[in-house]
Amino acid sequence: MHEAWWITIPKALIVVNVVMVFFALTTWLERKLLGRMQNRYGPNRAGPKGLLVPIADLLKLIRKEAFAPMAAKEPLYIIAPVVSMFTALLAFSVMPFGAGWTVWGHRINGAVVNVPISLILIFALGSIGIYGFIVGGWASESKYSILGSMRTCAQLVSYEVSLALSVLGVVLMGQSLNLQAIVDKQQATVWFFIPQFVGLCVFLLGGVAETSRPPFDLPEADTELVAGYHTEYSGMRWGIFQAAEYINMLTLSGLCVTLFFDGYHFPWVHSLDEFGPIWFVLKLFTLVILFIWLRASQPRLRYDQLMRFGWKVLLPIATINALVTAFFVVAVS
Q: What is the pLDDT of residues 11-41, one digit of tens each?
A: 999 999 999 999 999 999 999 999 999 898 8
Checking if the pLDDT of 1 tops 60, the result is: no
Q: pTM for this structure?
A: 0.92
Checking if the pLDDT of 178 tops 80, the result is: yes
* Residues 278 and 54: beta-carbon distance below 8 Å: no
* Residues 215 and 302: beta-carbon distance below 8 Å: no
Rounded distance between C-alpha atoms, residue 248 and residue 160, angstroms: 13
Mean pLDDT of the chain: 88
Bridge partners for 104 per DSSP: none
Q: What is the pLDDT of residues 115-153, one digit of tens each?
A: 999 999 999 998 898 899 899 999 999 888 888 888 888
pLDDT on residue 139: 93
The identity of residue 219, as a single letter, is P
Q: How confident is the model at residue 222 (pLDDT cuts 50, 70, 90)?
A: low
pLDDT on residue 66: 81
The identity of residue 80, as a single letter, is A
pLDDT on residue 198: 95
Checking if the pLDDT of 311 tops 80, the result is: no
* Residues 210 and 252: beta-carbon distance below 8 Å: yes
- Three-state DSSP at 108 gives strand
* Domain residue ranges of the chain, discontinuous segments joined by +: 5-332
